[in-house]
Structure 1
Amino acid sequence: MNEAPRTVRIAVGLWLAIAVFVFLTTAGLWFQRAEVRELTDWSEGQITSFLATLSGVALVFVVAYGLLVWQFLKRKNWPRAALSFVAIAHMVWILYVGVSASSLVTLLLICVAIVFTWQARTAQWLAEVREQ
């Protein structure tokens, strides 16, 4: 990645930051079961089911971001579109589940990551491989 332009390095860093942030915030919810109970008045079983669903979906997004970034670093062009598609699905999921401070941070990171992923210099870096 040393040869990659700054826009690519920033994009990769943002996608990986999103994956780590989603993982940590989801894991943190398991330690906040009491707060979830106070906010929702759900039973322990409902809370566990909710957290398991959130964790499963978060794991899908984390793995998708990781695998797509790995392919992106191999200078393949298709992961840019796939990252954007996954990111939009992630944004819709966040809005469906409910907006919180951490989800707003995730939404902001996703928007900035998409911008850097589609910068002209990033496209040029990917095109250099096809020209060789």
Structure 2
Amino acid sequence: MNDAPRPVRVAVGLWLATAVFVLFTTAGLWFQRGEIERLSGRSSGDVTDFLLALSVVGVLFAALYGWLTRLFLKRRNWARVALSVVAVAHMLWLLVVGVSAANLVTLLLICVAIVFTWQRAAAQWTEEVREQ
């Protein structure tokens, strides 16, 4: 990563920060389980099922971000495209789940990561591999 231009290093940091933030946010929901039950008026089993679904999706997105970021660092241009597609799917998922402070932070991280991923320096960096 030492030879990567600054926009690539920033993008990588943002993608990894997004993955970690998603995992921490997902874990944090389990600590708020009682509050979720109280506010929603749902049974304990319904809340558990909901949290399990959110956890599976959160871990899946975090794993995809980690894996694709690693490939992006290996200068795989398709990984940039895949990161963006996963990010758009994640943003749509967050809009379906609902607005919260954590979701807004996640959306911000994703948007800024996409901007840095598609900067000209990042594109040139991945193109250099194809030219060799």
TM range (shorter): over 0.9
Looking at structure 1, the residues matched to 98 and 38 of structure 2 have their Cα atoms a distance apart, in angstroms, of 16
Match in the other structure for 2:68? 68
> Aligned with 1:14: secondary structure?
helix
Superposition TM-score, scaled by structure 2 size: 0.98
Runs of 4+, deviation exceeding 2 Å = none
Separation of aligned partners in 1, 2:110 and 2:17: 10
Mapped pair 1:15 → 2:15: yes
2:42 aligns with: 42
Which string of whole-angstrom CA distances, capped at 9 and with x for unpartnered residues, describes residues 52-102 of structure 1? 000000111011101100110111100111000000000000000101000
For residue 54 of structure 1, what is the aligned residue in structure 2? 54
Rounded Cα–Cα distance in structure 1 between residues aligned with 2:102 and 2:4 = 30
> Which position in structure 1 is the counterpart of 2:117?
117
| Letter aligned with residue 130 of structure 1 | R
Alpha-carbon distance, 1:35 to partner: 1.2
Shift of 1:14: 0.2
Cα offset, 1:40, TM superposition: 0.4
Hey, what's the Cα distance between the residues in 2 that align with 1:38 and 1:20? 28
Percent identity (aligned): 66
Query: Aligned partners of 1:58 and 1:33: how far apart in 2?
Result: 16
Give the structure 2 partner of residue 92 of structure 1: 92
Distance 1:38 1:101 in 2: 20
Inter-partner Cα distance in structure 2 for 1:57 and 1:29: 13
> Which ranges in structure 2 are unaligned for 5 or more consecutive residues?
none
Q: How many residues align?
A: 132
